[in-house]
Amino acid sequence: MAQEDSFLYALSSNNAWAGYKAHQNPNFFPKLASGQTPQILWLGCSDSRCPETTILGLQPGDVFTHRNVANIVSPTDINTAAVVEYAVANLRVRHVVLCGHTGCGGCIASLPSDGSDSNTRVGGVLGTWLTPLRALRAAHGEELDGIKDASIRAARLAELNVEAGVRVLMAMGCVQDAVQEGRLEVHGCLFDIASGRIRDLGFGTTKGYVRRAVGAGTGGEEVRGRHAQLVFRGGSASMAVR
């Protein structure tokens, strides 16, 4: 398919998808048009390989979504804060999921590429946006430098980024109130692109499962702790511990 035809192909694919869904369930789109009652708020990366509804096996209307480069949750970002507040206070979602992923370009760009102590040079607005990742890299330099495999090192930084983001989420007033009322759970997860699996890292309100998932699905170093797959069914989430 020629590059210039990609948008026309997407429109044609959408037309086929809409026709199939309407044929499969005539009430699908009328129900969707009547309003939304998602149970999950997904905070993820803009990476094209991480489409939340697809990888969760869910449908339009099931997931309220906010994505940005490297799924960074900053306390000064009113865009993210507005999404979280609306989802928690107005839509009253049951789960907030902050999900990083392996092979994250933002994490890779925030790590040294030549074995030195300097970060890969990224300029402009993107460089400013990735500052929290570079700060995490500096704070955990000894641990990260000890990981020789570049892909595993980037995955570890992705985990640290999720952990830092969950701390910001748990400090938000609307999240604290909802958690205290017992109507909200916060999950920090990592999506392994190589396997298509999501793992709960044990941050947020889900404690004691997997502290780190470095190397999972990559043939890398041994992972400490138990593995857990996060499974959503209806209004609840369950853990399949392996």
pLDDT above 90 covers a percentage of the chain that reads: 78
Task: Report pLDDT for 207.
Answer: 66
Residue 218 pLDDT exceeds 60: no
Could you tell me the pTM of the whole model?
0.84
Mean pLDDT of the chain: 87
Task: Report pLDDT for 112.
Answer: 84
95 is catalytic: no
**How many Cα atoms occupy the beta-carbon half-sphere of 6 within 13 Å?**
3
45 is catalytic: yes
Homologous superfamily of the 26-241 domain (CATH): Carbonic anhydrase (3.40.1050.10)
Q: Give the residue with greater pLDDT, 81 vs 235.
A: 81
Q: Which amino acid is at 16?
A: A
Work out the end-to-end distance of the chain between its first and last CA atoms, rounded to an integer number of angstroms. Answer: 41
Query: Which of these is catalytic: 94, 95, 101, 199?
Result: 101
Task: List, for residues 17-66, the tens digit of each pLDDT value.
Answer: 999 999 999 999 999 999 999 999 999 999 999 999 999 999 999 999 99
CB 109 within 8 Å of CB 69: no
Q: Give the pLDDT band of residue 206 (cuts 50, 70, 90).
A: confident
Annotated binding site for Zn(2+): 45, 47, 101, 104
Query: Which of these is catalytic: 50, 99, 104, 107?
Result: 104
104 is catalytic: yes
How many other C-beta atoms can be found within 10 angstroms of the C-beta atom of residue 83? Answer: 17
The pairing of beta strand 40-45 with beta strand 95-101? parallel
Annotated binding site: 45, 47, 101, 104
Residue 239 pLDDT exceeds 80: no
Task: Report pLDDT for 214.
Answer: 45
Of 192, 241, 239, 235, which Cα lies nearest the Cα of 58?
235
Lowest mean pLDDT among 5-9, 58-62, 96-100: 5-9
Locus of tokens 């998602």: 38
174 is catalytic: no
Task: Report pLDDT for 242.
Answer: 41
Task: List, for residues 164-185, the tens digit of each pLDDT value.
Answer: 999 999 999 999 999 999 999 9
Bin 71: left if φ > 0, else alpha if -120 < ψ < 50, else beta: left
101 is catalytic: yes
Mean pLDDT of 186-210: 89
Domain boundaries, the chain: 26-241
Q: Give the residue with greater pLDDT, 211 vs 96.
A: 96
Task: List, for residues 115-168, the tens digit of each pLDDT value.
Answer: 554 555 688 999 999 999 999 999 999 999 999 999 999 999 999 999 999 999
Residue 240 pLDDT exceeds 60: no
Q: Give the pLDDT band of residue 3 (cuts 50, 70, 90).
A: low
